Amino acid sequence: MTKPQDGKEGKEKLRVYEYAKSLNMSSKEIITILKRLDTPVNNHMSVMESGMVSKVEGFFRDIKANAAAKRAQGGQQAGTSSARPTEKRPEQQGVHTIPRQEQTQQPNQQDRQVTMNTTSNNNQSSNGTQQRSSQGGSRNGQGGQNRSGQGQGRPQGQGGGQGRPAGQGGGQGRPAGQGGGQGRPAGQGGGQGRPAGQGGGQGRPAGQGGGQGRPAGQGGGYGGNRPGGQGGGQGRPAGQGGGYGGSRPAGQGAGAGTASRGESRSTAPAPRTFGDNKPAGGGQRDFSRSGPSGGAGRSGGPGGQGGNRRGGGKPGGQGGRFDDRGGNFRSRGKNGRGGKSSQPQRDKIDNTPKKIIVRGSMTVGELAKLLHKDASEVIKKLIFLGVMATINQELDIETIQLVASEFKVEEVEVKIPVEEDDFETVEEKDEEESLETRAPVVTIMGHVDHGKTTLLDAIRSTNVTSGEAGGITQHIGAYQVEINQKKITFLDTPGHEAFTMMRARGAEVTDITIIVVAADDGVMPQTVEAINHAKAAKVPIIVAVNKIDKPDANPDTIKQELTKYELVPEEWGGDTIFVNVSAKQRTNLEELLEMILLVAEVNDYKANPNKRARGTVLEAELDKGKGPVARVLVQHGTLKIGDAFVAGNTFGRVRAMINDKGRRLKEADPSTPVEITGLTEVPQAGDPFMVFEDERKARAISERRSIKQRQSEMGANSRVTLDDLYKHIKEGEIKDLNVIIKADVQGSLEALRGSLEKIEVEGVRVKSIHNGVGAITESDVALASASNAIVIGFNVRPESQAAVAAEQEKVDVRLHNIIYNVIEEIEQAMKGMLDPIFKEVVTGHAEVRNLFKVSKVGTIAGCMITDGKISRSAEARVIRGGIVVHQGKIDTLKRFKDDVKEVSQGYECGITLEKFNDIQEGDIIEGFTQEKVER
Ligand SMILES: Nc1nc2c(ncn2[C@@H]2O[C@H](COP(=O)(O)OP(=O)(O)OP(=O)(O)O)[C@@H](O)[C@H]2O)c(=O)[nH]1
- Domain C-terminal end among 684, 714, 744: 714
Q: How many domains does the chain have?
A: 6
Phi, psi of 632 (to 5 degrees): -125, 140
Give the rounded distance of the alpha carbon of 622 from its chain centre. Answer: 42
In the structure, what pLDDT confidence band is assigned to residue 89 with cuts at 50, 70 and 90? very low
Indicate whether 580 and 440 sit together in one domain: yes
> What single-letter amino acid sits at 716?
A
pLDDT tens digit sequence for 880-912: 888 888 989 999 999 888 899 999 999 999 999
96 labeled part of a ligand binding site: no
**What CATH number did the domain enclosing 409 receive?**
1.10.10
In the structure, what pLDDT confidence band is assigned to residue 121 with cuts at 50, 70 and 90? very low
Q: What integer pLDDT is reported at residue 312 of this predicted model? A: 36
| Residue 249: inside a domain | no
Nearest to 288 by CA among 369, 384, 176: 176
Q: Residue by residue, what is the 3-state secondary structure of 234-294?
A: CCCCHHHHHCCCCECCECCCCCCCCCHHHHHHHHCHHHHHHHCCCCCCCCHHHHHHHHHHH
Residue 229 Cβ inside 6 Å of ligand 1? The answer reads: no
The rounded distance, in Å, linking the Cα atoms of 741 and 776 is: 9
The rounded distance, in Å, linking the Cα atoms of 206 and 342 is: 13
453 labeled part of a ligand binding site: yes
Polymer length of the chain: 935
Separation in Å, CA 352 to CA 363, 396, 401: 18, 20, 14
Q: Is the pLDDT of residue 386 over 90?
A: no
Residue 583 Cβ inside 6 Å of ligand 1? The answer reads: yes
- Centroid of ligand 1 to alpha carbon of 549 (angstroms): 12
Query: DSSP string spanning 69-118?
Result: HHHHHHHHHHHHHHHHHHHTHHHHHHHHHTHHHHHHT-HHHHHHHHHHHH
Q: What integer pLDDT is reported at residue 412 of this predicted model? A: 84
Residue 450 Cβ inside 6 Å of ligand 1? The answer reads: yes
| Residue 317: inside a domain | no
- Domain C-terminal end among 562, 590, 607: 607
Which contiguous run of DSSP H or E holds residue 325? none
| Residue 790: inside a domain | yes
Q: What integer pLDDT is reported at residue 233 of this predicted model? A: 35
Nearest to 355 by CA among 377, 370, 374: 370
Indicate whether 390 and 460 sit together in one domain: no
Residue 584 Cβ inside 6 Å of ligand 1? The answer reads: yes
Catalogue the E-assigned strands of 354-511. 355-358, 362-363, 394-395, 411-414, 436-437, 441-446, 478-483, 486-491
816 labeled part of a ligand binding site: no
* DSSP β-ladder status, 650-658 and 760-761: unpaired
Indicate whether 584 and 636 sit together in one domain: no
pLDDT tens digit sequence for 761-819: 656 678 888 888 888 988 888 888 888 888 999 888 888 888 888 988 888 888 888 88
pLDDT tens digit sequence for 675-720: 999 998 888 888 889 998 888 888 888 888 887 776 665 544 455 6
> What single-letter amino acid sits at 277?
N
Q: What integer pLDDT is reported at residue 472 of this predicted model? A: 54
The rounded distance, in Å, linking the Cα atoms of 304 and 231 is: 14
50: exposed, middle or buried (Cβ count in 10 Å: 0-12, 13-18, 19+): exposed
Residue 494 Cβ inside 6 Å of ligand 1? The answer reads: yes
581 labeled part of a ligand binding site: no
Ligand 1 atom nearest the C-alpha of 446 is 19
Q: What integer pLDDT is reported at residue 848 of this predicted model? A: 94
- Centroid of ligand 1 to alpha carbon of 527 (angstroms): 14
* 596-614 b/e (C-beta count within 10 Å ≥ 16 → b): bbebbeeeebebbbeebbb
In the structure, what pLDDT confidence band is assigned to residue 845 with cuts at 50, 70 and 90? very high
Indicate whether 525 and 440 sit together in one domain: yes
Contacts of 642 (CB under 8 A, 6+ apart): 653, 654
In the structure, what pLDDT confidence band is assigned to residue 625 with cuts at 50, 70 and 90? confident
- Centroid of ligand 1 to alpha carbon of 583 (angstroms): 8
The rounded distance, in Å, linking the Cα atoms of 569 and 152 is: 111
Q: Is the pLDDT of residue 847 over 90?
A: yes
Indicate whether 506 and 494 sit together in one domain: yes
Give the rounded distance of the alpha carbon of 566 from its chain centre. Answer: 49
Nearest to 623 by CA among 601, 655, 576, 600: 655
**What CATH number did the domain enclosing 470 receive?**
3.40.50.300
- Centroid of ligand 1 to alpha carbon of 513 (angstroms): 18
Q: Is the pLDDT of residue 374 over 50?
A: yes
- Centroid of ligand 1 to alpha carbon of 19 (angstroms): 93
493 labeled part of a ligand binding site: yes
| Residue 392: inside a domain | yes
Ligand 1 atom nearest the C-alpha of 516 is 19
Q: What integer pLDDT is reported at residue 823 of this predicted model? A: 85
Q: Is the pLDDT of residue 366 over 70?
A: yes
Ligand 1 pocket, mutate which of 448, 454, 520 (most atoms under 8 A from CB): 454
Q: Contact 296/346 with Cβ under 8 angstroms? A: yes
- Centroid of ligand 1 to alpha carbon of 601 (angstroms): 29
767: exposed, middle or buried (Cβ count in 10 Å: 0-12, 13-18, 19+): middle
Q: What integer pLDDT is reported at residue 477 of this predicted model? A: 82
Q: What integer pLDDT is reported at residue 853 of this predicted model? A: 86
- Centroid of ligand 1 to alpha carbon of 450 (angstroms): 5
452 labeled part of a ligand binding site: yes
Indicate whether 26 and 37 sit together in one domain: yes
Q: What integer pLDDT is reported at residue 822 of this predicted model? A: 85
Residue 454 Cβ inside 6 Å of ligand 1? The answer reads: yes
44 labeled part of a ligand binding site: no
- Centroid of ligand 1 to alpha carbon of 128 (angstroms): 97
Q: What integer pLDDT is reported at residue 849 of this predicted model? A: 93
Bigger pLDDT: 430 vs 536? 536
What 8-state DSSP symbol labels residue 900? -
448 labeled part of a ligand binding site: yes
Contacts of 345 (CB under 8 A, 6+ apart): 101, 102, 104, 105, 106, 109
Q: What is the dihedral of CA 387, 392, 394, 399, to 10 degrees?
A: 40
Half-sphere exposure of 66 (CA within 13 A, CB side): 32
The rounded distance, in Å, linking the Cα atoms of 230 and 239 is: 9
Indicate whether 739 and 871 sit together in one domain: no
In the predicted model, what is the mean pLDDT of residues 362-386? 87
Q: What integer pLDDT is reported at residue 340 of this predicted model? A: 40
Q: Where are the alpha helices (DSSP H) in 848-895?
A: none
Residue 385 Cβ inside 6 Å of ligand 1? The answer reads: no
Q: Contact 236/214 with Cβ under 8 angstroms? A: yes
Q: Contact 229/259 with Cβ under 8 angstroms? A: yes
Q: Which of the residue ranges 30-39, 204-213, 425-434, 496-505 would you say has the lowest mean pLDDT? A: 204-213
- Domain C-terminal end among 773, 807, 833: 833
**What CATH number did the domain enclosing 821 receive?**
3.40.50.10050
Q: Is the ipTM of this complex over 0.95?
A: yes
The rounded distance, in Å, linking the Cα atoms of 135 and 668 is: 71
Indicate whether 744 and 827 sit together in one domain: yes
Residue nearest atom 21 in ligand 1 by C-alpha distance = 449
> What single-letter amino acid sits at 210?
G
Q: What integer pLDDT is reported at residue 927 of this predicted model? A: 92
pLDDT tens digit sequence for 544-599: 999 999 998 889 999 999 999 999 998 898 999 999 999 999 999 999 999 999 99
Separation in Å, CA 885 to CA 846, 859, 891, 910, 925: 15, 16, 17, 19, 10
Across all residues in the chain, what is the average pLDDT? 69
- Centroid of ligand 1 to alpha carbon of 484 (angstroms): 27
The rounded distance, in Å, linking the Cα atoms of 191 and 826 is: 96
Residue nearest atom 32 in ligand 1 by C-alpha distance = 547
Indicate whether 498 and 626 sit together in one domain: no
Query: DSSP string spanning 353-365?
Result: -SEEEE-S-EEHH
Q: What integer pLDDT is reported at residue 203 of this predicted model? A: 36
| Residue 801: inside a domain | yes
Indicate whether 449 and 594 sit together in one domain: yes
Ligand 1 pocket, mutate which of 444, 448, 449 (most atoms under 8 A from CB): 449
Bigger pLDDT: 493 vs 277? 493
In the structure, what pLDDT confidence band is assigned to residue 512 with cuts at 50, 70 and 90? very high
Separation in Å, CA 75 to CA 86, 146, 147: 10, 10, 11
| Residue 375: inside a domain | yes
pLDDT tens digit sequence for 323-363: 333 333 333 333 434 334 444 445 556 788 888 888 777 88
Residue nearest atom 10 in ligand 1 by C-alpha distance = 451
Bigger pLDDT: 821 vs 332? 821
Q: What integer pLDDT is reported at residue 766 of this predicted model? A: 84
**What CATH number did the domain enclosing 924 receive?**
2.40.30.10
In the structure, what pLDDT confidence band is assigned to residue 155 with cuts at 50, 70 and 90? very low
pLDDT tens digit sequence for 637-675: 999 999 999 998 899 999 999 988 888 999 999 999 999
| Residue 533: inside a domain | yes
Indicate whether 675 and 803 sit together in one domain: no
What domain range is 881 assigned to?
837-933
Q: Where are the alpha helices (DSSP H) in 759-810?
A: 778-787, 800-809
Q: Is the pLDDT of residue 541 over 90?
A: yes
Q: Which long-range contacts link 732-737 to residues 24+ away (Cβ below 8 Å)?
A: 734/788, 734/833, 735/763, 735/764, 735/765, 735/833, 736/764, 736/765, 736/766, 736/767, 737/764, 737/765, 737/766, 737/767, 737/790, 737/826, 737/829, 737/830, 737/833
3-state SS assignment for residue 504: helix
Nearest to 262 by CA among 370, 358, 145, 350: 145
The rounded distance, in Å, linking the Cα atoms of 504 and 8 is: 81
| Residue 129: inside a domain | no
Residue 451 Cβ inside 6 Å of ligand 1? The answer reads: yes
525 labeled part of a ligand binding site: no
Report the interhelical angle of 128-153 vs 50-87 (nearest 10°). 40
Ligand 1 atom nearest the C-alpha of 450 is 19
Q: What integer pLDDT is reported at residue 748 of this predicted model? A: 82
Separation in Å, CA 931 to CA 265, 304, 837, 839, 887: 84, 80, 8, 5, 17
Over pLDDT 90: what percentage of the chain? 20
Q: What integer pLDDT is reported at residue 73 of this predicted model? A: 65
Residue 55 Cβ inside 6 Å of ligand 1? The answer reads: no
Q: Contact 233/179 with Cβ under 8 angstroms? A: no
Contacts of 484 (CB under 8 A, 6+ apart): 594, 597
Indicate whether 486 and 498 sit together in one domain: yes
Q: Is the pLDDT of residue 265 over 80?
A: no
818 labeled part of a ligand binding site: no
Q: Is the pLDDT of residue 123 over 50?
A: no
70 labeled part of a ligand binding site: no
Q: Is the pLDDT of residue 116 over 70?
A: no
- Centroid of ligand 1 to alpha carbon of 529 (angstroms): 19
Contacts of 464 (CB under 8 A, 6+ apart): 471, 473
